[in-house]
Amino acid sequence: MLTIPYRSWRSLVLPKSATRLQTGSIILVLSAVCASLAIFFAPYAGAVPGSIAQEYQTGSTDVSQGALLSLVSKGGASVTLANTGNSAMLLGVAANRPLVELSGGSEDGVQVVVGGSTGVLVTDLNGKITVGDKIAPSPIDGIGMKAINSSEVIGTAQADLSSIKTVTKYFAGSNGKKVAAKVGLLPVAVNVAYYTPSTGGSLSAYVPLFLQNVANTLAGRTVSPLRVLIGTGALLLAFATVIIMLYTAIRNGVISLGRNPLASDVLRSGMIDILLTAVGILLVGGIVVAAVLVA
C-alpha cells in the first residue's frame, strides 16, 4: 500500500498560494480584532497612569494637594475650594505633579487636574468609600465624600479608603457638635460629571466594575447597568459575526484554492470584499454601542 507523508499530501492539496492566503488572512483578522479592542479601551486605559492639569487663579491660601476646586464664576479663570454649596461649579482637583500641564507660570495660580488619575482628599462622612464609588464635594471645603444622591461628582474611586493611610479630623456638625471623620488622599479617576444613582437594581451585580468604568468614561457620565449590558452584548455580537464570517471565508477559500490554484486572483478579490464587510460590521457595532451609551 502506497502511503504519502502528511507534509507531501498537504503540499499536493494546498499549494503555497493557499498557505500564504490562509496565513495572511489570519494575521489580518487578529490585527482587526486587536485594533478594535485598542480603540474601545483607549479612553479608559489612558486615564489611569497620569493626569492633565491646567492653571487657574485662586485667592485661597489653604489650597493643598488633592483639594476639590470649583469655579468662582461660570466661564471664569478663578477657583476656590469646593463644597456642597458650590458643587454645581465643580472643576477639578489641586495637583501636585501632573503628567501634563496645559499652562503655568503665575505666582498666584494653582494647577487643577481636569482629567486622568490623581490623589483626592476624601472623608467617610457619607459612609465608607470603596472601589468604584463616585466622589462628590462634601460640606467641608476642599474635601470629597461618597456620592449617594444625585450631584456633581469629581470622578470614581480607584481604591478603598480603608486601604490607604488616613487621619482622624474633627468637624463642626449641623447641630453644632464636633463630628469625627477619617480623611485620606485617595486615588481617583477624574471625570467631572453629573451623577444619578443607578436604578438598575440587581442588574449591577452582573456588570463587572471595569466594564461600568469604561462605559462611564466613554459616555462622560454614569451609564445604567442595563445600557452597559446591551452595549456589551452588541459589541460581542459584532465581533462574533466578524470572526465567524472571516473563518468561513478563509476556510472555503483555502479549500477552493487547493482544488483550483488558478482561482487565486478571484479568491483574493473576494477576500478583500469580505474584509471590507467585516470592517463595516465593526463600525456599525461601534455606532450602536455609542448610541446605547450616550443616548
Per-residue tens of pLDDT for the chain, all 295 residues: 445 444 443 444 444 554 555 555 555 555 555 555 554 544 444 333 456 778 888 887 788 889 999 999 888 889 999 999 999 999 999 987 554 555 555 666 788 988 888 899 999 988 999 988 899 999 999 999 999 888 899 988 988 999 999 998 888 776 778 888 899 999 998 888 887 776 555 566 677 767 777 777 777 666 778 888 888 888 899 999 989 988 888 888 888 877 877 777 777 888 888 888 888 888 888 888 888 877 6
Q: Are strands 51-58 and 100-101 parallel, antiparallel or unpaired?
A: parallel
**pTM value surpassing 0.85:** no
- Let me know: does 137 contact 90? Beta carbons within 8 Å: yes
Q: Do 114 and 98 contact (CB within 8 A), yes or no?
A: no
Contact residues for 256 (Cβ-Cβ < 8 A; gap 6+): 263, 267
Q: CB 16: neighbour CB atoms within 10 A? A: 9
Instruction: State the Cα–Cα distance between residues 79 and 35, nearest whole angstrom.
Output: 40
Identity of the residue numbered 249: A
Sequence letter at residue 190: V
**With b meaning 16 or more CB within 10 Å and e meaning fewer, what string describes 21-38?**
bbeebeeebeebbeebee
Residues of the chain with CATH 2.40.300.10: 47-197
| 47-197 CATH fold | Virus Head Decoration Protein; Chain: A, (2.40.300)
CA 24 to chain centre: 32
Identity (one letter) of the amino acid at 263? A
Cα–Cα distance, 249 to 25 (Å, whole number): 10
CA distances to 28, 33, 147, 181, 213 from 134, in Å: 40, 32, 5, 18, 11
